[in-house]
Amino acid sequence: MSLKSLIRTIPDYPKPGVQFRDITSLLENAKGLRLAVEGLAEPFRGDRVEKVAGIEARGFLFGVSTAISLDAGFVPIRKAGKLPGATIGREYQLEYGSDRVEVHANAIAAGERVLIVDDLIATGGTVVATIELLEGIGAEIVGCAFVIDLPDLGGSQRIETDGRRVVSLCSFEGE
């Protein structure tokens, strides 16, 4: 079974020229979903992952399952203002403007080994901000895992160039 074949492409969404990769068709397929979760977890089984950080919102779906598979805790990485209580954040630049990711201030202890999970890697801006945020509170980043890579947008290469381990289960090149 090919994970890529379970991901639906919706042309011109949310705007003309964009090929949206819809994971709901993957989530609906029990075997495909299991294959995706196992594919995200397996490369990191020997790395003593203590926490999995999932990036809002689709990263939560795969992150929680991956955390369970690795016998690790789960930490949500959210957009600004979405977490109650004390948070720490990191701003990052978008094509037009900026955004911010946040985590609970006490979610990760210094030295904890963290795997970052999301459904898709495109330009890498959100992931890089997440890495910087977590390292800023003392986390040791074990790697980054994605269901989908859009290599033409350079995100995986950007992260790998910084010496990070990146695992992607499928890619959509030149599309």
Residues noted as catalytic: 58, 95
- Measured CA to CA, the distance from residue 85 to residue 170 in angstroms comes to 37
HEC string for 84-117: CCCEEEEEEEECCEEEEEEEECCCCCCCCEEEEE
Residue 78 has what DSSP assignment?
A: E
CA-based nearest residue to 56, from 117, 108, 106, 4: 117
Residue 44 has what DSSP assignment?
A: G
